[in-house]
Amino acid sequence: MGIETTFSNYIEELKAIMSGYLDPDKISNIMIRGTKIILIIIIAKIAIKVTNALIDKFIDSKDKFKIKIDDSRMSTAKGILKSIVRYTIYFVAFTPIMSELNIDVKGLIAAAGIGGLAIGFGAQNLVRDIISGFFILFEDQFAVGDYIEIEGRTGVVEEMALRITKIRDFSGDLHIIPNGSIDKVTNRCRGNMRAKVDMSIAYEENIERAIKVLNSASENIKKESSDIIEGPIVLGVTSFGESDVVITIIAKVKPMSQWAVERLMRKRFKEIFDKEGIEIPYPKRVIYKQTADNNI
């Protein structure tokens, strides 16, 4: 009898709870609040897209407004502005959403004020990332499109936001690095770069003749490529290998063009070596075969 009574009580409590949740007024209120929250999120997303489009339009039409700033710096500023706008819109949308969830925003702000010290300790990395991002931008340490090295990772800066920097290496991997963790940056796009090529010739070849041929080819390469600022200059013999004599040629080139110039130099030097009959050595092995006669 006691078990039946307890079970009946549970059933009654369950009915009371279900009747509360199935109350049409409550269901209607929940649906209205949910719809408002969804609309606020949609409006925030639309506002971000529209603002980003306006920023893109303004940056892309900088020539029309006669704004003389480097394209790389403008691209960097574009990423920073978009980041600031995104965080601002999210913060503005946060307040009405909290109100719809019956969360006292004023009380939340007061609690944040009371616990500000604890929150400050928890968010110190975030603040450090943002401050470091501003210093990187204002000091012009690097910009979008620069080829840099950070913490052993090299790549081209694809995006610089308020808190993070994204660089993509030549294998296609995207590295996302917090600005606050950037202690040392190697920028390989500031100033002229060096293209270096080592050409090997056999020990039997005439070194002076090889250098003369390389000088002649270098003159033609300089006329062929507009990326070369100075050179190519044949430095002469720089090392001796097991089967080769190494001659080094260098050139001063525009940033990010060193690899293309090096490929061009190697191609033209190989072509003129083939034309002039200058041998580029390769490893050789001499094999002695022991015959039966030798064993006697």
When pLDDT is averaged across residues 89-96 and rounded to a whole number, the result is: 77
The CATH number of the domain where 21 resides is what? 1.10.287.1260
Question: Residue 21 pLDDT > 70, yes or no?
Answer: no
Question: Residue 146 pLDDT > 60, yes or no?
Answer: yes
Whether residue 67 lies inside any domain: the answer is: yes
SS3 (DSSP) at 201: strand
As a whole-number percent, the residues of the chain with pLDDT over 90 amount to 1
Please identify, among 49, 82, 114, the residue that sits at the C-terminal boundary of a domain.
Answer: 114
Query: How many helices (H) and strands (E) would you count in the chain?
Result: 9, 8
Same domain, 35 and 91: yes
When pLDDT is averaged across residues 229-251 and rounded to a whole number, the result is: 86
Q: Tell me how far apart the alpha carbons of residues 125 and 256 are, in angstroms, rounded to a whole number.
A: 33
Give the domain extent around 147. Answer: 125-187
Give pLDDT tens digits for 109-136: 555 554 454 445 555 666 677 777 777 7
Give pLDDT tens digits for 36-65: 778 888 888 888 888 878 777 776 665 555
**Location of structure tokens 């010739």:** 201
- Our count of domains for the chain comes to 3
Same domain, 6 and 110: yes
CA neighbor of 138 nearest in space, from 179, 178, 166 = 179
As a whole-number percent, the residues of the chain with pLDDT over 70 amount to 70
